[in-house]
């Protein structure tokens, strides 16, 4: 009989009431009782007994409601908008500070522009990392 079952990394471990390991299988633990353990492997649900023998399998689809625009998405778009406006403001300041008309600077490249380019790349990497941690990008 099953005492407990728990997720350990990518494996499901099943323990008896006496504390002995009954079996361990790769998969995601969905639930257990004293008689059976439910393990998800891909999109197949395996119902196993306390010895790890498969009693039945079922097709599993996780039904989740469609996500509406959440505050996380709003935050991501605000970050995008801020970067866009900062870049526009910098370019306008750069052109006005030189006394050149907008678009007539000749496109020269200097260390300041290279630094700003790298900072924007690092900013987008950080935004993508933050978005993936918040669950916006999968």
| pLDDT at 39 (0 to 100) | 92
Q: What is the mean pLDDT of residues 56-82?
A: 67
Q: Is the pLDDT of residue 105 over 60?
A: no
Q: Per residue in 12-35, pLDDT tens?
A: 999 998 888 899 999 999 889 888
Q: What backbone torsions phi and psi does residue 74 show, to the nearest 5 degrees?
A: -60, -45
Are both 83 and 109 inside the same structural domain? yes
User: Is residue 54 domain-shared with residue 90, that is, in the same domain?
Assistant: no
Show the tokens assigned to 62.
Answer: 């996780």
Residue 137 has pLDDT above 70, yes or no: no
Query: Which residues constitute the domain of residue 22?
Result: 2-59
Sign of the Cα torsion 88, 92, 98, 102 reads positive
Q: Is 76 found in the same domain as 41?
A: no
80 in any annotated domain? yes
Task: Report which of residues 12 and 72 the model is more confident about.
Answer: 12
With beta carbons less than 8 A apart as the criterion, state whether 57 and 46 touch. yes
Residue 66 counted as domain residue: no
Say whether both 121 and 87 belong to one domain.
Answer: yes
- Please state the rounded mean pLDDT for residues 132-137: 67
Query: In 3D, which of 38, 40, 5, 2 has the Cα closest to residue 18?
Result: 2
Question: 20 or 68, which is more confident?
Answer: 20
Interior angle at CA 11, CA 10 and CA 13, nearest 5 = 150
pLDDT of the residue at 43: 84
Contact 28, 11 (CB under 8 A): no
Same domain for 77 and 105: yes
The domain total for the chain is 2
81 vs 37: CA distance, rounded Å: 49
How many Å apart are CA 77 and CA 85, to the nearest integer? 12
> What's the predicted TM-score (pTM) here?
0.45
At residue 95, the pLDDT reads 65
Q: Are residues 130 and 80 in the same domain?
A: yes
């Amino acid at each position: 009989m099953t005492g407990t079952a728990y997720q350990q990394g990518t494996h499901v471990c099943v323990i008896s009431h006496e504390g002995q390991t009954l079996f361990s299988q790769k998969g995601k633990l969905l639930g257990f009782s004293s008689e059976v353990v439910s393990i998800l492997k891909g999109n197949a649900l395996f119902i196993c007994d306390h010895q790890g023998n498969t009693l039945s399998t079922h097709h599993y689809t996780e039904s989740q409601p469609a996500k509406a625009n959440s505050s996380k998405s709003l935050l991501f778009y605000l970050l995008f908008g801020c970067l866009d406006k900062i870049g526009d403001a910098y370019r306008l300041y750069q052109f006005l500070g030189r006394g050149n008309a907008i678009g007539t600077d000749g496109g020269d490249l200097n260390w300041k522009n290279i630094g700003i380019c790298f900072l924007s790349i690092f900013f987008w990497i950080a935004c993508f990392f933050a978005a993936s941690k918040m669950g916006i990008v999968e």
